[in-house]
Amino acid sequence: MSAEPLGKAALLGLLEGVTEFIPVSSTGHLIMASHWLGELDERTKTFDIFIQLGAILAVVWLYRARLFGAVASAGREEPSRRFLINLVVAFLPAAGVGYLTHDWIKAHLFAPTVVAMALIAGGLVILLIERWGPPTRTADVGGVARVTALGVGLAQVLSLIPGISRSGATIMGGYALGLSRTAATEFSFFLSIPIMLAATLYDLLKSWDALSPGDLPGFAVGFLVAFGSAVVVIKAFLAFVSRHSFAAFAWYRIALGTLVLLLLR
């Protein structure tokens, strides 16, 4: 494979790792980047989804002790069992709706105009929630109530629209429902594992015939770059939200969405 396709794969992998866990929509950024790079075929759409596995692995790696500990002790410790059940409860709404609408969304909503409008709408919602300033009732992921987990899961359904942002919907959903900024962010990280893993594997099965052995190097490069960059961003983002609001991400979304709409005129 020549250097140019590998360079594009690395660029898209970096974009995925940097944007996946902050509330700006990684899928939206990848769709716009692929559009301007002239990569618009079915293989590229599958690549954009596949490299999310690299970002997922970053969360698993950073939280491996907590995740594996919860799984190992779920049979005898109620807090571990509650944590895992909460993830299942929050996972199910978007998984069900995504399964039913996957083909339609991929065919009709993977477009820069849709992404731009969703970026702006999501930015305005973030500003409204920040202006409201919901009171914090839960400071730690371990204390998330079942009904709160369900609420976050319902918010995640909105992220099926490219540009809304899975992390944005789940973080702001959790924050609006009384989680602290840090707890909402960490719950979003954990929730990313089952939903992104399911979406990626489902898409790979659906698109397997569109891929070839020659795609492997580019997919591997994108995967590895997404993993490395996501590790760095996750640590930095947690440090940021412990001291700042989400308003900066809202203004970025609004500015980027507006710019894209102007460029598409």
Place of tokens 């409008």: 117
What pLDDT does residue 47 have? 80
pLDDT (tens digit per residue) in 73-97:
998 999 999 999 999 999 999 999 9
Question: Which residues contact residue 86 at a Cβ distance below 8 angstroms, ignoring those fewer than 6 apart?
Answer: 144, 146, 149, 187
pLDDT band with cut points at 50, 70 and 90 for residue 8:
confident
Residue 40 has pLDDT above 80, yes or no: no
The residue among 32 and 146 whose pLDDT is bigger is 146
- Mapped onto helix, strand or coil, the DSSP state of residue 44 is helix
Mean pLDDT of 57-62: 94
Instruction: Give me the residue spans of the domains in the chain.
Output: 3-264
Residue 4 has pLDDT above 70, yes or no: no
Residue 73 and residue 80 in contact, taking contact as beta carbons nearer than 8 Å: yes
- Helices of type H across 38-165: 42-50, 52-62, 64-73, 78-108, 112-132, 146-157
Place of tokens 């909460």: 86
Question: Which residues contact residue 216 at a Cβ distance below 8 angstroms, ignoring those fewer than 6 apart?
Answer: none
Token representation of residue 207: 């698109």
Place of tokens 């429902």: 177
Q: Over the chain, what is the mean pLDDT?
A: 90
Mean pLDDT of 237-246: 93
Paired residues of 198 in beta bridges: none
Mean pLDDT of 235-260: 94
Lowest mean pLDDT among 32-41, 166-175, 196-205: 32-41
What pLDDT does residue 2 have? 45
pLDDT (tens digit per residue) in 94-121:
999 988 998 899 888 888 899 999 999 9
pLDDT band with cut points at 50, 70 and 90 for residue 6:
confident
Residue 185: closest CA among 110, 249, 262, 109: 249
Residue 202 has pLDDT above 50, yes or no: yes
What pLDDT does residue 1 have? 42
Mean pLDDT of 155-166: 93
